[in-house]
Amino acid sequence: MSGAPRGLLLAALCGLLCSPVAAANRLALESSPYLRLHAGNPVDWYPWGPEALERARREDRPIFVSIGYSTCHWCHVMAREVFSDPAIARLMNDWFVNVKVDREERPDLDAVYMLATRALTGSGGWPNSVFLTPDLKPFFAGTYFPPEAKYGKPAFPDVLRRLHGTWVGKRPVVLQEAARLEALMRRMQRLPDGAGGHRGDLLARVTVELAQMYDSEWGGFGGAPKFPSPSLLHALAERHARSGDPEALGMLIGTLERMVRGGIFDQLGGGFHRYATDRMWRVPHFEKMLHDNALLAPLCSAAGKRAGRPDLLEAARRTLDFTLREMTTAEGDFLAALDAQTVQGEGAFYVWTCAELEETLGKADADFLAPVLGFDGEPSLEGGRYVLHLAGPGPLASSGAAGGAARERVAELQARLLAKRERRPRPAADTKVLTDWSGMMIRGLALVSRDLGEPKYLRAAERAARRLLAGAARAGATCRHVTKDGASAVDAFLDDYAFLAGGLLALHEVTGERAWLTEAGRLVDEADRRLWDGQQKRYRFSAARPDLLLDAAEPGDLALPSGSSWMARCLVQLARASGEKRWRERARELIDAYGGYLSQSPSSVADMAVAAAMLEELEPGAREPGATVRAELQGDLPRAAAGGQVAVGVVLTIAPGWHVNSARPLQKYLEAASLELEPSTAVKLEGVDWPEGKRVKLGFSDEELSVFQGETRVTARLKVASTARPGPLAAVLRLRVQPCNDRVCEAPKTLTVPLTVTVEAH
């Protein structure tokens, strides 16, 4: 799919400029699709920039800032009800300098002024409506305001009159409130103390915290509305990968399964909607965001492989097929989002009535499919409209040939519904290319390509990565934030560096190509130069600039992972892949800066907890004191030529009084020690040489056991791919053991041993 042809864009712009109904305002000339949506408003809108800010200072006027994005439902509502009303626009134009901001183009401004709204109201959302003094300090804020009082909210004209009156008649009160609010915002941005006090099994603590919030019936955490929360799912996946914790896997699979069966997943076209308005994941907000699909697809594929769940593997495949079909340009760039709205209303593209189902399929096929897709219950929405979801097994419960035939019939009928849906008016696409979200999708495509053995996903990831890097280079930079219509005008933020580096590191992990590792290192180096705060030992969200009141780097992993957490993960990956000490030291500084959050509530910074767990694997001395078993590399770093083999020694150190079952236990019911290599196209595990276990008798068993005690040396025989290029090659060994003493056994543990194989030139 490609963006709108330039001729159509010029025609639309001409229509706005030449309209006899309403002259276009300044936003008609902006590149942001969201800003252009407001070009026909009677409001005298400015984009954020010197012209608007200078006018506010010159005329001593307060600034009204409205921040939103193109797929935001309530942004559309406020634009239709409020900003299109000439009487309301007259009040805005007479008393304020009015500025529109696309939060996806300027996430730095969005973060600052969302902080103000949360400080004033205790919550936030979009559109974010903030009133500023001419020196950019907020003094009043809210989200959606209606044209007349309703929903417990004041009428926007009343808000304008009250604020204008206060500005004119009680200026000292306004300035005092602005100073108070700025001080509060700065306090909210400080990280809590606790550096270094967060050692221990953070992922176990995250799992305990999430278990208290987990919806055991419907998956997910908390009640409605329900967000996918990929950071929480990342933490559960990592917890299970490291320890085999069945509770972590249960919450992960339970959540993904319910989502994939629910209305939040597009049952016809694939891909995930933004979030669910209900506890059961059935009624979504219908916009589709690149970042959600980028993060959820690899979670589905990895969990599907781990748990043997073909439904999750298929969900990953359908999500990426949707992305390549509907959110990828002909050149290979990824679009930011698809709107929920069409001319027929919110979600109209996706929902069906019983009459439409029967009209499309005929009565017999409609009767067959209805119970599968949830038509036998109450309608999801008013007007008898249903959001398709997998309501129950129905005819799919049959086994053998009958079950296979039923599944084929369901797939054929779904394809017919999809073909009919394609003839409906389509939701608009936001055609911005955002580096941070594109980096997430590059990572997702690379990891799923490995999990599913699907090379087209890897090709798409590599093409998008090359285009982002080349586009930034043309602009004289290593990284830029946004590209629209081939132009790149916004400097990179922390999230851009972190998520693009994460995507490139995934490409390196999957392909073994050193070039991707080098480019990721360049990105992190530039982020260090531009954004590292040596005093606070953390990254700023953006470089200092005069039109930014303060830096508002997001400390927590909320609906999306924070750039800080993802950068910490990248630093650890760079340290592991390159062996360079500086990356490890920077990761330790950054993670320690978030020690207060990690100590108090690790689930609020779940991806930072993942980064901390990754770092612990590189720092054996920093691991939890009293650990019953550890695994470390033995000897020099391994070296081999491309196509050659290398033996890697691993030392298993078992605490006094403890043992683990050997690789060949005498009893079939005991968990054997095992070693595997994380999937990689660049290096394979040819075999493992285990020592013989020691035969002992222990107090809890009358039978003789075969165990390892003390120090045990294991040899992994690796083969390097013939296509591997000279240089360092990252790999990860995973040892699974069950520690026991004479009285108790711990849960089986997976010990991660990162290593770097140096590929020598012939």
Distance spanning both ends of the chain, measured CA to CA: 44
Please tell me whether residues 158 and 61 are part of one structural domain: yes
Residue 61 pLDDT: 97
**How far apart, in whole angstroms, are the C-alpha atoms of residue 608 and residue 620?**
19
Q: Residue 761: enclosing H or E segment and its boundaries?
A: none
Residues 200, 136: contact at Cβ < 8 Å? no
Please tell me whether residues 584 and 634 are part of one structural domain: no
Contacts for 192 with CB less than 8 Å, ≥ 6 apart: 596, 597, 600
**How far apart, in whole angstroms, are the C-alpha atoms of residue 76 and residue 156?**
15
Q: Of the residues 160, 189, 218, which one is the last residue of a structural domain?
A: 189
Q: Residue 743: name the closest of 706, 699, 679 by CA.
A: 699
Please tell me whether residues 570 and 665 are part of one structural domain: no
Residue 287 pLDDT: 95
Please tell me whether residues 160 and 209 are part of one structural domain: no
The larger pLDDT score, comparing residue 567 to residue 14, is at 567
**How far apart, in whole angstroms, are the C-alpha atoms of residue 19 and residue 1?**
30
Helices H / strands E in the chain, number of each: 24, 29
Q: How many residues does the chain have?
A: 762
- pLDDT of 547 over the 70 cut: yes
Amino acid at 40: G
The larger pLDDT score, comparing residue 90 to residue 601, is at 90
Reported as half-sphere exposure (CB side, CA atoms, 13 A), residue 291 has a value of: 21
Strand stretches in 476-574, DSSP E: 480-484, 487-491, 532-533, 538-539
For the chain, the domain total comes to: 3
589-608 average pLDDT score: 93
- pLDDT of 722 over the 90 cut: no
Residue 199 pLDDT: 63
CATH classification of the domain holding 724:
2.60.40.1250
Residue 337 pLDDT: 96
Please tell me whether residues 461 and 597 are part of one structural domain: yes
Residue 15 confidence class, pLDDT cut points 50, 70, 90 = very low
User: Mean pLDDT over all residues of the chain?
Assistant: 89
Please tell me whether residues 452 and 583 are part of one structural domain: yes
Q: Is residue 422 part of a domain?
A: no
Residue 397 confidence class, pLDDT cut points 50, 70, 90 = low
Residue 395 confidence class, pLDDT cut points 50, 70, 90 = low
Burial (CB < 10 A; 0-12, 13-18, 19+), residue 396, is middle
Residue 197 pLDDT: 53
The region of weakest confidence among 82-86, 427-431, 596-600, 621-625 is 621-625
The angle, 0 to 180 degrees and rounded to 10, between the axes of the packed helices 310-326 and 290-307 is 150
- pLDDT of 139 over the 60 cut: yes
Q: Is residue 195 part of a domain?
A: no
324-349 average pLDDT score: 94
Residue 21 pLDDT: 44
Q: Is residue 726 part of a domain?
A: yes
Residue 671 pLDDT: 86
**How far apart, in whole angstroms, are the C-alpha atoms of residue 608 and residue 527?**
18
8-37 average pLDDT score: 65
404-413, 468-477, 515-524, 660-669, range with greatest mean pLDDT: 515-524
* Strands 97-102, 284-285: pairing kind: unpaired
- pLDDT of 621 over the 60 cut: no
User: Torsion angle of alpha carbons 301, 307, 309, 312, nearest 10°?
Assistant: -30
Please tell me whether residues 221 and 310 are part of one structural domain: yes
505-524 average pLDDT score: 94
Residues 510, 447: contact at Cβ < 8 Å? yes
**How far apart, in whole angstroms, are the C-alpha atoms of residue 387 and residue 267?**
9
The region of weakest confidence among 499-513, 661-675, 736-750 is 736-750
Contacts for 31 with CB less than 8 Å, ≥ 6 apart: 484, 485, 487, 489
Alpha helices in 19-155 (DSSP H): 33-37, 50-59, 73-78, 86-95, 107-121
Q: Is residue 723 part of a domain?
A: yes
Please tell me whether residues 172 and 235 are part of one structural domain: no
Q: Is residue 673 part of a domain?
A: yes
- pLDDT of 615 over the 70 cut: yes
- pLDDT of 191 over the 80 cut: yes
Residues 316, 451: contact at Cβ < 8 Å? yes
Q: In this prediction, what percent of the chain has a pLDDT beyond 90?
A: 67
Q: Is residue 379 part of a domain?
A: no
Q: What sign results for the dihedral spanned by CA atoms 376, 381, 384, 390?
A: negative
**Phi/psi of residue 165, nearest 5 degrees:** -60, -40
Q: Is residue 400 part of a domain?
A: no
Residue 10 pLDDT: 38
User: From the centroid of its chain, how far is CA 745?
Assistant: 37
pLDDT tens, residue by residue, 357-382? 999 999 999 999 999 999 988 899 99
Q: Residue 630: enclosing H or E segment and its boundaries?
A: strand 629-634
**How far apart, in whole angstroms, are the C-alpha atoms of residue 715 and residue 338?**
51
**How far apart, in whole angstroms, are the C-alpha atoms of residue 288 and residue 286?**
6
**Phi/psi of residue 326, nearest 5 degrees:** -120, -15
- pLDDT of 437 over the 60 cut: yes
CATH classification of the domain holding 593:
1.50.10.10
Q: Residue 563: name the closest of 536, 534, 585, 532 by CA.
A: 532
Residue 226 lies in domain: 202-343+430-622
Amino acid at 371: P
Q: Residue 453: enclosing H or E segment and its boundaries?
A: none
Q: What sign results for the dihedral spanned by CA atoms 395, 399, 403, 405?
A: negative
CATH classification of the domain holding 184:
3.40.30.10
**How far apart, in whole angstroms, are the C-alpha atoms of residue 759 and residue 2?**
41
Residue 22 pLDDT: 53
Residue 749 pLDDT: 81
Residues 440, 563: contact at Cβ < 8 Å? no
Residues 67, 127: contact at Cβ < 8 Å? yes
Residue 400 confidence class, pLDDT cut points 50, 70, 90 = low
Reported as half-sphere exposure (CB side, CA atoms, 13 A), residue 304 has a value of: 23
The larger pLDDT score, comparing residue 224 to residue 12, is at 224
Amino acid at 711: E
Residue 667 pLDDT: 86
Q: Residue 119: name the closest of 42, 169, 185 by CA.
A: 185
The larger pLDDT score, comparing residue 408 to residue 622, is at 408
The region of weakest confidence among 97-106, 430-439, 452-461, 732-741 is 732-741
- pLDDT of 16 over the 70 cut: no
| Residue 399 CB neighbour total at 10 angstroms | 7
User: From the centroid of its chain, how far is CA 65?
Assistant: 27
238-248 average pLDDT score: 88
**How far apart, in whole angstroms, are the C-alpha atoms of residue 537 and residue 195?**
10
Please tell me whether residues 80 and 27 are part of one structural domain: yes
The larger pLDDT score, comparing residue 31 to residue 130, is at 130
Residue 762 pLDDT: 65
Q: Of the residues 143, 162, 189, which one is the last residue of a structural domain?
A: 189
- pLDDT of 5 over the 50 cut: no
Residue 198 pLDDT: 59
Residue 9 pLDDT: 40
* Residue found by looking up tokens 């080349």 in the block: 470
Residue 69 pLDDT: 94
Please tell me whether residues 588 and 641 are part of one structural domain: no
DSSP per residue over 294-343, as a string?
Answer: HHHHHHHHHHHHHHT-HHHHHHHHHHHHHHHHHSB-TTSPBPSEE-SEET
Calculate the alpha carbon distances from 470 to 466, 476, 666, 761 in Å.
Answer: 6, 10, 59, 28
Q: Is residue 21 part of a domain?
A: yes
Q: State pTM to two decimals.
A: 0.81
Burial (CB < 10 A; 0-12, 13-18, 19+), residue 169, is exposed
Q: Of the residues 155, 189, 223, which one is the last residue of a structural domain?
A: 189
The DSSP call for residue 746 is: P
Contacts for 346 with CB less than 8 Å, ≥ 6 apart: 73, 286, 340
Residues 550, 523: contact at Cβ < 8 Å? no
The region of weakest confidence among 15-24, 137-146, 347-356, 362-371 is 15-24
Please tell me whether residues 603 and 644 are part of one structural domain: no
Residue 13 pLDDT: 41
Q: In angstroms, how far apart are the furthest CA atoms of the chain?
A: 94
Residue 704 pLDDT: 87
Residue 1 pLDDT: 41
**How far apart, in whole angstroms, are the C-alpha atoms of residue 28 and residue 181?**
34
Please tell me whether residues 639 and 597 are part of one structural domain: no
Residues 297, 320: contact at Cβ < 8 Å? yes
